[in-house]
Amino acid sequence: MLQNSLFAISRMSKNRQSPLGFIIDGDYNGEVKAEFSYYFINPGWKAGWKMKVPRKPVVAITMGDPSGVGPEVILKGLSSIRSRTNCVPLIIGAPRALEREKKNLGINLDFDVIHGAEEIRDTTNVAVLPGRYELSLGDMHYGNLSDTGARAVIDWIELAVSLALKGFADAICTAPLNKAVLKERAGFRYPGHTEFLAHLTDSRRFVMMLAGKKLRVSLVTIHCPLSKVAELISKENIAEVISITAQALLKDFGLSEPSLAVAGLNPHAGESGKFGTEEIDIIAPAIKKAREQGIDVHGPFPPDAIYREAYEGKYDAVVSMYHDQGLIPLKLLHFYDAVNVTLGLPVVRTSVDHGTAYDIAGRGKANPASFMEALDLAAKIAINRRRKEENS
């Protein structure tokens, strides 16, 4: 896979007003070759330089549960020109599910089924990689995924991660799956997408962030009972979440001087120990440790007020102690367009921030906004990481 196309400029003749041939030759969303001419008055002028042209990132899109709204939001999203201007989409999933939604929605979007990631450069249409399983429509009745279908969903995620680790894909964007269905029908043993991706990439340090245009939140604890949160938070894991979040805002989101806020655990952030001492004993020392590492982080703040301040632009992200503490304000503001981002992985991963929505699957009512934002953010993060690598 070529990392950049090159503009090579060569002098074509010595005649007065001599044309110079500008030749583009490289891999940019498939094969791109073009010639341009420009006239220079001075016949003795010589040119010879190279200009890097950024390559569109390849984003591997996993279909998620094909009996839910995943195929619908993917199809609706990719039918928008915006969703295909800054990346090369590679769908990993069931071609029959896409054809079914094309018919249901009346959307005319051409696909090419490929059998290896290297073939993506040979198609001008949206590429679809089926993986090891060939699913029939019977395997993916709306709201009723078969055992084979469940195994295929897991296979698609594994395939996407493999492609990203090997450099065939620059990012992964995942559509929703149903964890209970995968557990029942395929023995899936992970609490969610995030933990499975961490396992596949052998990552021990990772953070779930939910991002909207006006608010970002990252979580210290994720999928656990509320009754367990107080015993699961520690100075070490809070400091780690602060650090990973700050690094991601710099490297992935391209912020030059990110500023973070940390929410307290208790009402009024404990109010000097009246309503709990976790802020004094655990959260404040973690913040102090992060500040000593040069991170611009503040808190702990009362949870009922800090999200408004971040929304108004005072902070770039809020570190939240538990799942619903961060997601309630986030979804109040960004219910349709929030993006789930897994920070700390060696691969870029974004996801829609909604479920399989079996109740509306096949009815054409699914909103594709979260998918479109997730695809867009995956491409932007991939580009930002590439720039960081090139400039380091």
Mean pLDDT across the chain: 86
Residue 123: per-residue pLDDT: 80
How many CA atoms lie less than 13 Å away from 234 in the CB half-sphere? 5
pLDDT at 145: 97
DSSP string, 343-371: ET-SS-EEEESS---GGGTTTT----HHH
Please tell me what DSSP assigns to residue 255: -
Q: What is the pLDDT of residues 105-136, one digit of tens each?
A: 999 899 999 988 788 877 888 999 999 999 99
Q: Give me the pLDDT at residue 57, please.
A: 94
Query: Do residue 271 and residue 232 come from a single domain?
Result: yes
Co-location of 98 and 152 in the same domain:
yes
- Do 99 and 28 lie in one domain? The reply is no
Are both 81 and 181 inside the same structural domain? yes
> C-alpha 289: how far from its chain's center?
29
Residue 10 tokens, joined:
């060569």
Confidence of residue 54 (pLDDT cuts 50, 70, 90): low
299-317 pLDDT, tens digit each: 999 999 999 999 999 999 9
**Of the listed ranges 29-38, 60-69, 81-90, 203-212, the one predicted with least confidence:** 29-38
Residue 78 has pLDDT above 80, yes or no: yes
The terminus-to-terminus CA distance of the chain in angstroms comes to 21
Same domain, 60 and 189: yes
Name the residue among 345, 323, 62, 64 with its Cα closest to residue 198: 345
What is the spatial distance between Cα 355 and Cα 361, in angstroms, rounded to a whole number?
A: 11
- Give yes or no: residues 376 and 298 share one domain: no
Q: Which of 29-43, 257-271, 287-301 comes out lowest in average pLDDT? A: 29-43
Strand pairing category for 58-62 and 171-174: parallel
pLDDT at 191 over 80: yes
Domain shared by 107 and 134, yes or no: yes
Percent of the chain predicted with pLDDT > 70 = 85
Are 194 and 214 contained in the same domain? no
Mind listing the pLDDT tens digit for each residue in 155-173?
Answer: 999 999 999 999 999 999 9
What pLDDT score does 356 carry? 97
Residue 390 sits in a domain whose CATH number is 3.40.718.10
**Do residues 196 and 60 share a domain?**
yes
Tell me the C-alpha distance between 301 and 323, whole Å. 17
> Residue 178 pLDDT > 80, yes or no?
yes
In this structure, the answer to whether residues 217 and 288 fall within a common structural domain is yes
User: What pLDDT shows up at residue 49?
Assistant: 39
Q: What per-residue confidence (pLDDT) applies to 40?
A: 32
Clarify whether residues 80 and 69 are in a common domain. Answer: yes
The size of the chain, in residues, is 392
More confident residue, 383 or 12: 383
Cα–Cα distance for residue pair 233/220, rounded to 1 Å = 7
DSSP conformational letter for 81? G
The number of domains in the chain is 3
Residues 246 and 209: their CA atoms lie apart, in Å, by 12
Residues 226-264 pLDDT 10s: 999 999 999 999 999 999 999 999 999 999 999 999 999
Q: What does pTM read for this prediction?
A: 0.84
Do 374 and 243 lie in one domain? The reply is: no
383 vs 56: CA distance, rounded Å = 8
Q: What is the pLDDT of residue 83?
A: 59
pLDDT of 35 > 70? The answer is: no
Query: Which domain does 282 fall in, by range?
Result: 206-343
